[in-house]
Amino acid sequence: MKHEEPLLSWSVGDWAYGGCIEGIWVEAFYLDEHRDALGHMYSLDSGSEVPQHLRGVLKRHVLGKASCVKCASLNGELHLRQIRVRYSSSRREQRHFIVCSCGYPVWRMSEDDSFAVSRALQLAGAALRRKKSLIRAGGKHSPGEIQLILASQENRCIYCNALFVGPVRPTKDHLLPVSYGGSDWALNIVMACRRCNSRRGEIPFRTYCRLLSPTQNRRVLKCLAKRIESMEPDQLPEGVFASFIVALELHDSRHGRYRDILRISPVSRRYASLNRLLPRYPHLLLRRWMLDSSKRSRP
C-alpha cells in the first residue's frame, strides 16, 4: 500500500448516489454541469488498509475496469490517499480514498460496472461471514464424503432431480443453514443444483420441501432414508448428529422467503396444500419411507 500526505481539501460535483458497503464507501457524482458523465470514488470508512477479503474485489471490478478521470490509465495496484473532500453541498469528510498511481481519486466507469462493484462487495462480505459461521459451528467433510452423497443421490439434485452433467453443477446445500448455526459435517450436507440452492436460500429444509411436488418429496425422503440407513453411529465424531436433528425438526411457515414463493407461484401453493411435512425425527422418517415403499410395491 502507498500512503500520501493528507490533502487540505478537494471539491467534487453534485452527488448522484452511493453508500457504505462492507466498510467501503461507494459514491458517484456528476463530472459536469450537464450531468452527462459520472465519476466514482471508493474510500474506507475508517483506517488506512483495505480488508484482505475485499482486495481482490476492488482489483477486479474497479482497477481492472475503471479508468482514471485525470490520466485515463487503468491502474492495477491499490493505492490509498487521505483526502479531505468538500462536496457541493458543503459537506466535508476526510477518508482514505483508492487513487490512481497519479494520485487522483476519481474513476470513470459505467453505472452497470459500478453496481457490479457494490454487488461483489456484498457477496464477499457474506462469504466471509459464512466462513466464520462454519468455523464457529464446527465440522468438516472430505471430498470422498461428498462423492458418497452424490452417489446416494444418483448424481442428481436432491430437489429437482436434475442430472449433474455439463453446465448443471452440484453445489453443497446445508440441511440446517449456516446462518442457523448449521455445521459443516457431511451429514448436514445434501447436493443441489445452483438454481435450487439459490431458490431455497435460508428457508428451513422441511419448510422448503413443502414447495416441491409430491414426487420430489418422495425422492427427498428416499435420499435421507439412505443416509440414515448407512450411518454407523459408533464411528461418527461427537456432535455430528446435532445439525441433522435440528434440520429435521425446524419448520417455519412464516419465513419471509417461503411466503414470497407461495405468493408468486400458484404451483408452489398447490404443492404446499398437497404435501405433508417430512417427519421430524430420523426413525419416523425411516418408517414413512418403508410404508411408502410397501404401498408402491403392492400389486
The string of DSSP letters for 73-133 reads ----S-EEEEEEEE-TTS-EEEEEEEE-TTS---EE--HHHHHHHHHHHHHHHHHHHHHHH
Cα maximum dimension of the chain: 87
In this prediction, residue 87 carries a pLDDT of 67
Q: Do 116 and 148 share a structural domain?
A: no
Burial classification of residue 167, based on how many CB atoms lie within 10 Å of its CB (0-12 exposed, 13-18 middle, 19 or more buried): exposed
Q: Do 253 and 202 share a structural domain?
A: yes
Asked which of 98, 113, 132 is the last residue of a domain, the reply is 132
Mean pLDDT, residues 247-261 taken together: 94
In this prediction, residue 298 carries a pLDDT of 60
Q: Do 142 and 109 share a structural domain?
A: no
Q: Do 142 and 114 share a structural domain?
A: no
Has residue 1 been placed in a domain?
no
Asked which of 107, 132, 157 is the last residue of a domain, the reply is 132
In this prediction, residue 3 carries a pLDDT of 46
In this prediction, residue 8 carries a pLDDT of 44
* Distance (Å, whole) CA 270 – CA 253: 15
Q: Do 285 and 169 share a structural domain?
A: yes
What's this model's pTM, rounded to 2 decimal places?
Answer: 0.67
Tally of structural domains, the chain: 2
In this prediction, residue 220 carries a pLDDT of 94
Asked which of 77, 98, 132 is the last residue of a domain, the reply is 132
Q: Do 104 and 148 share a structural domain?
A: no
Which residue segment(s) compose the domain that 245 sits in?
138-297
* Distance (Å, whole) CA 65 – CA 113: 8
Q: Do 162 and 84 share a structural domain?
A: no
What average pLDDT does the chain have?
85
Q: Do 203 and 110 share a structural domain?
A: no
Mean pLDDT, residues 37-44 taken together: 87
Has residue 212 been placed in a domain?
yes
* Distance (Å, whole) CA 207 – CA 227: 20
Has residue 101 been placed in a domain?
yes
Q: Do 20 and 111 share a structural domain?
A: yes
